[in-house]
Amino acid sequence: MKTRKIVILTFIIMIFGLVSVYSSSHIWALYKYDDAFYYLKRQVIFACLGLFAMFVTSRIDYHLYKKYYKFILIICFLLLILVLIPGLGVVRGGSRSWFNFGIFALQPSELFKIGIIIFSAVYMEKHYYHMKKIRYSLPVLLMMGLGFLLIMLQPDFGSGVVMACSVIVMMIVSPFPFRYFVGLGILGVIGIVIMILSAPYRMERILSFLNPFQDPLGSGFQAIQALYAIGPGGLLGVGFDKSIQKHFYLPEPQTDFIFAIIAEEFGFIGGIIVIGLYTSLFKTVLKVSQNAPDLFGGFLMIGIISMIGIQTLINLGVVVGLFPVTGVTLPLMSYGGTSLVITLMSIGILINISKSCHDML
């Protein structure tokens, strides 16, 4: 029953995402590519690839990842290094974060999120009762820190934060003493301050977050236009495909700021329904994780759903002005091939573990 619910919720969110991608993108697509369905057609292809990947991973025994976790992590690290090499990695939006394969672009940081979660789940199962001592947690923290550093060299702060927070959540549910998180939090804050001070554009984002109207045509433009989209939506919205902001006001609204168009067209009620769907998916997976056949399966489920949940929270927070702009997509909804395929592939892993729980009952 829980497995079926995970599948149904995933399909509902994804279908609503496809509808929203069309609604938010067809004006820009018609102008740029002379094809109103340009983004929708590509997203449908990505969705089909993602569903196939989800079907495959839902059939693969999740213990196989435990067997090959070192190989998976090495490949993920290798890709993070290769993407930094000019000529191999492609620059998009100011970040060298992509491999270009023609109609499809691969973002290694998305794969690394899964790789580090698998590694952490294996390690935490092996050293579960030793996690009370901080020295046993160092390998996880070191792998996470190295991955974060490589991701920041691209730079891709949003993906780095999602990855790190997912691992931290896994550590929270382990026997790792809570008092150590205070020290880790202090180190994290110091690191973030250093990164902000070392890159002027990050300082601009922080300042525009605090007061976007200080630079309304520059760093604060997207945040302001997103709020202009959400405001007129009211309770019930202006109606499907009647958004004003997608008419060249909000830049490429089909990507990170797709929720702003959803809120404009479907209003507060539509936004609450979307949030409710995500919340239901997260709660269902977390309940299933409590009955996982082993610690590895439980940690793997928590890591994956934390990754999806934290990314969702950050995206929604950015759109409504609670967080600075970070360039994080809304899982299963925003336009983007790598994000959609990897998310669906990850959900396939959740389904496989959920089916294992059902077989034990």
Question: String of b and e for 269-279 (b: at least 16 CB within 10 Å)?
Answer: ebbeebeebbe
Token pair in block for residue 193:
């301050």
Least confident of 101-105, 230-234, 289-293: 101-105
- Quote the pLDDT of residue 112: 94
pLDDT single digits (tens) 324-358: 877 789 999 999 888 899 999 999 999 999 988 75
| CA–CA dist 201, 355 (Å, integer) | 46
| CA–CA dist 59, 353 (Å, integer) | 10
Mean pLDDT of 163-190: 82
Q: Whole-model pTM? A: 0.91
pLDDT single digits (tens) 108-147: 989 999 999 999 999 999 988 888 787 888 889 899 999 9
Helix and strand numbers (H, E) in the chain are 13, 3
Going by C-beta distance under 8 Å and a sequence separation of 6 or more, which residues neighbour residue 64?
A: none
Token pair in block for residue 16:
């609503």
Mean pLDDT of 186-203: 71
- Residue 133, judged by CB atoms within 10 A of its CB (0-12, 13-18, 19+), counts as middle
Sheet holding 89-92, edge to edge: 89-92, 95-101, 104-106
